[in-house]
A = this chain, B = another copy of it.
Amino acid sequence: MATRPKVVIVGGGFGGLEAAKALRDAPVEVTLVDRRNHHVFQPLLYQVATAGLSPADIAEPLRRILRDQENVTVLLGEAERVDLAGKRLVLTDGEVPYDHLILACGASHSWFGHDEWAEHALGLKTLEDAREVRRRVLLAYERAERTEDAAERAALLTFVVIGGGPTGVEMAGAFAEIAHLTLARDFRRIDPHQARVHLIEAGPRLLPAFAEDLSAATKASLEKLKVTVHLNARVTAIAHDEVRFGDQTIAAKTILWAAGVQGAPIARTLGVELDRAGRVKVRPDFSLEGHPEVFVIGDMAALTDAKGVVVPGVCQGAMQAGKLVGKNLVRGLDGTAPEPFVYRDLGIMATIGRAHAVVQLPRFRFSGFFAWLFWAFLHVALLIGFDNRLVVMIEWMWAWFTFDRGARLITHERPHG
């Protein structure tokens, strides 16, 4: 056993898990380190943030996922830095030596140099974030019901989403539905229909990664849900209860940030060149320049693949990278040369509310209700644990027919925070 190479994987997201699975039959000892005990199905995080699903519906304990893979040990721990020379991963409370290291720590928010905005705007990367967004949105309605001050009430009932990518579009659609469908009859003093949802995008169109007609369809759908879409609108200030862009100022108590991400902070401890988004520039097999035993994959890595395609920061990119790195590691054990990466685009999609989505496959694209059905079934099918799949399907069907959202809980240490 002592002679088996030690492979340490940091991060149990889509990339890290695929790497671990690709090493299933390899004569290596794998240690998967994560600061959470669970894998999160990120594409449905916005559903938790908007009270449609419970955190456990979209999360799965890492130990359970890897239970039957005998060569994997899961460790709950927070990686602090990499000691490349000493070949060890330093945790906040210990260290793990490695022969091969795979960094798959994902991304955190980028505030574009305005870190002070983090105080006023909510991000959406973890289950904790999602629960906090849910709490703040529901509390805003509760406070609006109680206040006597008309200006405060208006700010409480104004929801601003910054960033017109898939997360921003999905959140804006869900916020609008909460106001106009879910809560419509629940209050006595306020009318939830008075709520206003603004979606602010710096570029000329929503969903810039999609074809132009899908961007246009998305904007039209959101406007049908009474979302105000602002294009070419670069946010210049986020202060307490206020967002500024161009010559406009919107007073809002709930501000969601879905505009920018950057590679996880551990990338900075590698002492190598990072791109503008804080991602590590890797070699064509995701290894680190000068350190063929260290790989960086997923949202932490910047790579243009062997065919000249910039690998996008999406689940599929991370999964394909994890798989390749795992396979290459196995190849390396018997001296076979590593294969370079070629990204395979399986399509992208985003959903807008309860009956509309845009789907862009490599050779075909469509939008509308059937796109939404396609989106819904694919996402339920991809959920990792089978029990979750069934539960999520039922919760969605119920919510769809009743316009309800089952997870409308305000829970927190500070219920009145």
Task: Please report A residues at the B interface, Cβ cutoff 8 Å.
Answer: 35-38, 54-57, 59, 61, 63-64, 67-68, 73-78, 92-94, 127-128, 131, 138-139, 142-143, 145-146, 183, 185-189, 385, 387-388, 390-391, 394-395, 398-399, 402, 404, 406-413, 415-416
Contact = CB atoms under 8 A, between A and B. Distances in A.
B37 A67 contact: no
B409 A55 contact: yes
Given A54-B55, A54-B57, A75-B146, A64 B408 contact: yes
A142 to B, nearest CB: 4
B411 A146 contact: no
A36 B415 contact: yes
Copies in the complex: 2
Given A38-B410, A56-B406, A128-B411, 12 more contacts: A54-B56, A64-B186, A67-B185, A67-B186, A73-B189, A76-B142, A128-B412, A131-B411, A385-B406, A387-B406, A390-B398, A391-B391
Nearest to A77: B146
Nearest to A37: B410
A49 to B, nearest CB: 13
A35 B398 contact: no
11 contacts: A38-B408, A56-B406, A56-B407, A61-B408, A63-B183, A75-B146, A76-B410, A128-B411, A128-B412, A391-B395, A413-B413
A152 to B, nearest CB: 13
A45 to B, nearest CB: 13
A58 to B, nearest CB: 10
Nearest to A148: B94
B35 A416 contact: yes
A394 to B, nearest CB: 6
A59 B409 contact: yes
A185 B69 CA distance: 11
A94 B146 contact: yes
A37 B64 CA distance: 33
Contacts of A187: 63
B128 A416 contact: no
A128 B143 CA distance: 21
Contacts of A61: 186, 408-409
Contacts of A404: 64, 387
A410 B36 CA distance: 7
Contacts of A38: 408-411
Nearest to A73: B188
Contacts of A407: 54, 56
Nearest to A415: B35
A227 B251 CA distance: 57
A409 B186 contact: no
A388 B38 CA distance: 24
Contacts of A56: 54, 406-409
* Most chain B beta-carbon contacts within 10 A, residue among A63, A75, A138: A63
B391 A387 contact: no
A145 B55 CA distance: 25
B92 A416 contact: yes
Contacts of A413: 128, 413
Contacts of A37: 138, 142, 408-410
